[in-house]
Amino acid sequence: MGTPTDLSPAARQAAGVCTADALAARYRSVRERSIELASPVSAEDAMVQSMPDASPTKWHLAHTTWFFETFVLATLPGYRVVDEAWQVLFNSYYQSVGPQHSRPMRGVLSRPSLAQVLDYRARVDARIADAFARDELDVALRQRIELGLHHEQQHQELLLTDILHAFSCNPLRPAYRDDLPVSHTAAGAQDWRRFDEAIVDIGIDRWPEQPAFAFDLESPRHRALVGAFAIATRPVTCGEYRDFIRDGGYRTSTLWLSEGWAAVQANDWQRPAYWRDDERAFGLGGVRAIDDSAPVSQLSYYEADAFARWADARLPTEFEWERAAQGVEVDGNFVESGRLQPAGDARDGLRQMFGDVWEWTSSSFLPYPGFRPWDGALGEYNGKFMVGQQVLRGGSCASPRDHLRASYRNFFPPHARWQFSGLRLAKDLA
């Protein structure tokens, strides 16, 4: 594994390569963000596991810490793990590392307490700070820290969507924060952005061989032939989605994939996950009026696909999406905006490619040609999930801005609807 030392500081920063000091600062900043995001949540809230797919806040805080302990600190001479038993409790799915506590049983873990988990974080953070100070971290370990921070950012988003799901199951419908701003921005008109057939470079060169961080699943960069297509200039809004509902979208079998129709029937789906029948919806700010201008979210893949069919369009492939996103600045409504909900965007032109809602693509989550998982246990990070899932692109109002990029691939099973997941239409060009 080559070390990228021959870059100027500016170039390094541009490429995402941190000096040790910058990395240490970034470590502190990302780790503090997690604490900040968890701060509106009580120790009791932090316990709730409302479904097997979601995890308690406390578990997110602990697991991300376990990640640094296991993949960084445990490799340092003389390091003793904080608690042997926690190696099992907070291992998510790394078979190579060892056994795991049963995922659907994360909600029984009243012990360790949130206070203990916060102490665990503090101890690991202190030891990492020490390691930076003593220059104990070689390039490989610094890279693992870099990875650990991106890993933590993923869990920051899940922390938000999981606590939102937990609260949605409580009839009291508690607000994660009751001081969230209300957006008044109208959505501009939807137009189409056209692209001719081209051979496009997709993905990104493998990190850390190149210095800008990316997950293994985004590599290798490779060429793909992408036919002519048009893509909508903005995501589908709540107002547009309501038209679909009013037009009988949820009662028209021919609009749906077979599995999707079965899900509609079995679960009596009639609207997005957190919409109610009174023109209001539940979100991190509690129950509020639905903002017709905001991108619709909390959709399953089945719903996104059915809407697109109803609209006489289709979902974009992930390659089409990436092509459209190439060169677009990573700007928009991210977690940093403090809105924590999608919002309208009145501008013209291709917009909201990043932030607001993850956009379901028609692409299944599959390896790129020549894909190699990272070596060792970290090879379990992404590769083993490459079946039965669909790719989403772009990031959401719950994603950290510096976590995203045009090549970023998110993935969820098609029935998942507790994320800030929406859609952008696409269509063929003859």
Q: How far is CA 202 from CA 143, 195, 322, 369, in A?
A: 23, 15, 7, 11
Considering the complex, state which of residue 333 and residue 407 has its C-beta at the smaller distance from a copy of itself: 407
Q: How far is the CB of 85 from a copy of itself (least distance, A)?
A: 6
Residues written for the chain: 430
DSSP string, 389-430: -EEEES--TTS-GGG--TT--EEE-TT--SSSEE---EEE--
Q: How far is the CB of 385 from a copy of itself (least distance, A)?
A: 6
Using CB under 8 A as the criterion, which residues of the chain lie in contact with a copy of itself when the complex forms?
Answer: 42-50, 85, 88-89, 93, 95-96, 101, 105, 107-114, 166, 169-172, 174, 199, 222-225, 227, 229, 253-254, 256-261, 301-302, 305, 317, 362-364, 366-367, 369-370, 379-380, 384-388, 390, 414, 428
Contact indicator for 207, 214 with CB cutoff of 8 Å: yes
Considering the complex, state which of residue 97 and residue 397 has its C-beta at the smaller distance from a copy of itself: 97
Q: How far is the CB of 138 from a copy of itself (least distance, A)?
A: 26
Number of other residues whose CB lies within 10 A of the CB of residue 269:
17
Q: How far is the CB of 187 from a copy of itself (least distance, A)?
A: 29
Considering the complex, state which of residue 108 and residue 122 has its C-beta at the smaller distance from a copy of itself: 108
Considering the complex, state which of residue 19 and residue 96 has its C-beta at the smaller distance from a copy of itself: 96
Q: How far is the CB of 120 from a copy of itself (least distance, A)?
A: 13
Q: Which long-range contacts (CB under 8 A, 24 or more apart) does 368-376 make?
A: 368/202, 368/203, 368/217, 368/218, 368/219, 368/220, 368/222, 369/220, 369/222, 370/220, 370/222, 371/216, 371/217, 371/219, 371/220, 372/206, 372/216, 373/216, 374/216, 376/96
Number of other residues whose CB lies within 10 A of the CB of residue 282:
19
Considering the complex, state which of residue 276 and residue 384 has its C-beta at the smaller distance from a copy of itself: 384
Q: How far is the CB of 316 from a copy of itself (least distance, A)?
A: 11
Considering the complex, state which of residue 319 and residue 334 has its C-beta at the smaller distance from a copy of itself: 319
